[in-house]
Amino acid sequence: MTLGNLSSGTGSIAILSSGGAVTQTAGGGSVSLTTTGANAITLANTGNVLTGSLLLTTATGNATIFNNNAGGTAIGATAVGGNLSIQANSGNVTQSGGWAVNGITTVTANAVANQQITLNNVGNSFAGPVTASTTGATGHVTLTNNHASGFAVTATAGGGLTLNTLQVRWPATAVPVQVRRRAPAISTG
């Protein structure tokens, strides 16, 4: 199923595909997308200006979102059986519901300095590794995970980094955490 321009005004659009992947060829509005089986959700058009909250559901497929909305990218309650990739070219990435992701989660908000990634819902369940990237002194990253297997994170945060894990096992196997922070400006007086 291929979607053209989507405009929901002040309402929403719900799309159910049981026979194939869902893709988009141009910008869109608020949407709820569901696929079955290994079918994917792909809204990767660089012209997307997604203004409402997105609700994504896949059985075992991946979900890919690209958004140019200066007002940010808001993702609601989401269940992705495969990998989840979100790239916000402007605005912050936030959530209004918990995310359950079985695969790799990649969230990028670094096209404009000081974009933030705030994924602090206690309902988050990241089974696979999480990668998050921001730039700028206030480009903060906040991640919360409530998955029993722990938390594997690679973060490049221009600002601060906050990690919350709600499932702790001790003794635990090694949980890799990689943090890259850009060097702050040096002032000489």
pLDDT digits (tens, 9 = 90+) for 136-151: 999 999 999 999 887 8
- Residue 181 gets which letter from DSSP? E
Amino acid at 111: A
pLDDT of residue 183: 46
Q: For the chain, first and last CA: distance in Å?
A: 60
46-102, pLDDT tens digit by residue?
888 887 788 899 999 999 999 888 889 999 999 999 999 999 999 999 999 999 999
pLDDT at residue 187 above 50?
Answer: no
Per-residue confidence band for 182, with pLDDT thresholds at 50, 70 and 90: low
- The domain limits of the chain are 2-168
Percent of the chain with pLDDT strictly greater than 70: 73
**Residue in the structure block whose two tokens are 């990998």:** 83
Show the tokens assigned to 6. 């989507």
pLDDT at residue 28 above 70?
Answer: no
Strands (E), the chain: 2-3, 13-17, 22-24, 31-35, 41-43, 54-58, 63-67, 73-75, 78-80, 84-88, 93-95, 99-101, 105-109, 117-119, 125-126, 130-134, 141-145, 153-157, 161-165, 177-181
pLDDT at residue 155 above 60?
Answer: yes
CA 17, 22, 28, 33: dihedral to nearest 10 degrees? 50
